Amino acid sequence: MSETAFVKEATGTEVQPRVYRRRWFILLLFSLYSGTNAFQWIQYSIISNIITRFYGVAVTTTDWLSLVYMLVYIPLIFPVTWLLDRKGLRVIAILGSTLNAVGALVKIASAEPHLFAVTMLGQTICSIAQVFILGMPSKLAATWFGPNEVSTACSIAVFGNQVGVALGFLLPPVIVPDVEDKDVVAIHLRYLFIGTAAITSALALLVILCFRARPTVPPSQAQAVFRQNNDNQTESYLSSVKQLIFSPPSLLLIISYGLLAGWIFYLYHGEILNFYPENIVEAGQIGLTMVLSGIVGSIVCGIWLDRTQIYKKTTVVIYISTLAFMVLYTATLDLGYLWVVFIASGALGFTMTGYLPLGFEFAAELTFPVSEGTSSGLLNASAQIFGIAFTLSMGQLIPASSVLGANIFLCAALLIGSILTATIKEDLKRQQANNE
């Protein structure tokens, strides 16, 4: 947008779009508490054998410490996105960061072998906090950032969550030793829980004190249009949801996003340890490699979108690349060379995580002026549904056939997603609003 462009406020006053330096602090704060929530999601899975032995529960019971994140999201996403539309970013940020801290505090009391129910309660509270977090990246970016930096901002917000996943792979095996002595495990679990609670509590306090709902002047013409529609409530929340579901382009994107992102949830949850059950440290390092390369992919894709504004072609290329690297990843798992698996995992992580901000931003373009929180929420709901389906299906497929057969099934799902993505009709409505 040129420097002479103006946007019209709801009062009728024309002002020049403006971005505030505060936007980077808001983005950093969100990325940090989002990362701690993702850390709490994955922290049990990577040491699942220790958790299962310590609490004396079945493996499937331990799995629910991860699956609860997916299960809770589905029924709560609609009321949370409605609240985001009506009350704005600040209310959602306070609720998400506070619930995240409360869940972490509850876990401190659960570091005893007979208190699995308490750790499950804490994890459930954290999973509720996740509902207030996952739909925010695209909404926060659009609210605070200009049209030439909005995709980069969205990718950084996603980046924060992925850093949390990376630390979730890295730190728990280092902090909690894999020993038979439950007293030793209890001490180190308490260290893990106390450290997490201290950080999440500090971040929740910062959010309450410093997080603002939106800047005084909108950063773009599109955001000014959205504010005017939202302030006047020209369209109901239910109408917005219907528009997303019954519009062929957005529906195709919701399904294809779920097929890829839901598969990521499954992969983080069980794929790596299925192949390396006796190599927990190496499994964590492979997962860390995948996440770190994904962080790079997320940032690269965000910067690319801002500079080129090429949405559909970029999304299709990344989706097909993910399918290709998944085939490579599957083919290398049984070779016995861990370094080959590391390389394949890194390539796969780059594309599959890089796809996440692409999906958010493409949905925002296709569905404008529907709130980015609503479109992101439906994308994430699709991912959670497919994530549960993949996790449960793989639990049946692997014993019935093989890990190879299960991965071929996942490749087929990605092939379907690639075809659906290629058929989406591109209509960049938000970009058109910015150019008017």
Mean pLDDT per 10-residue interval, the chain, length 436 residues:
47 69 93 94 86 88 86 86 85 95 95 92 95 88 88 87 84 88 92 95 96 87 76 66 80 89 59 58 70 85 87 91 87 72 84 86 83 82 82 68 74 91 84 73
**In CATH, what number is assigned to the domain containing residue 283?**
1.20.1250.20
Q: Are residues 112 and 203 in the same domain?
A: yes
Question: Quick one: pLDDT at residue 2?
Answer: 40
Question: Quick one: pLDDT at residue 380?
Answer: 84
- For residue 34, which of 265, 204, 169 has the smallest C-alpha distance? 204
Q: Are residues 220 and 239 in the same domain?
A: no
> Which CA distances in Å does 302 have to 42, 113, 155?
25, 45, 5
The SS3 call for residue 324 is helix
Asked whether residue 2 is domain-assigned, the answer is: no
Of 202, 234, 266, the one marking the end of a domain is 234
- Report yes or no: 94 and 211 within 8 Å, Cβ to Cβ: yes
Question: Quick one: pLDDT at residue 269?
Answer: 44
Of 184, 203, 234, the one marking the end of a domain is 234
Total domains, the chain = 2
Q: Are residues 239 and 119 in the same domain?
A: no
Question: Quick one: pLDDT at residue 274?
Answer: 59
Q: Are residues 116 and 209 in the same domain?
A: yes
Asked whether residue 328 is domain-assigned, the answer is: yes
Question: Could you tell me which residues come within 8 angstroms of residue 49 by beta carbon, excluding any fewer than 6 positions away?
Answer: 178, 277, 280
Question: Quick one: pLDDT at residue 276?
Answer: 58
Q: How far apart are CA 195 and CA 284, in angstroms?
A: 20
Of 177, 199, 234, the one marking the end of a domain is 234
Question: Quick one: pLDDT at residue 60?
Answer: 81
Query: 82 is in which domain, residue-wise?
Result: 20-234
- For residue 317, which of 412, 421, 411, 410 has the smallest C-alpha distance? 421
Beta bridge pairs of residue 7 = 15
Q: How far apart are CA 223 and CA 202, in angstroms?
A: 31
Question: Quick one: pLDDT at residue 288?
Answer: 73
The residue with tokens 């949905």 is 363
Q: How far apart are CA 384 and CA 259, in angstroms?
A: 10
Token code pair at residue 332? 């290398």
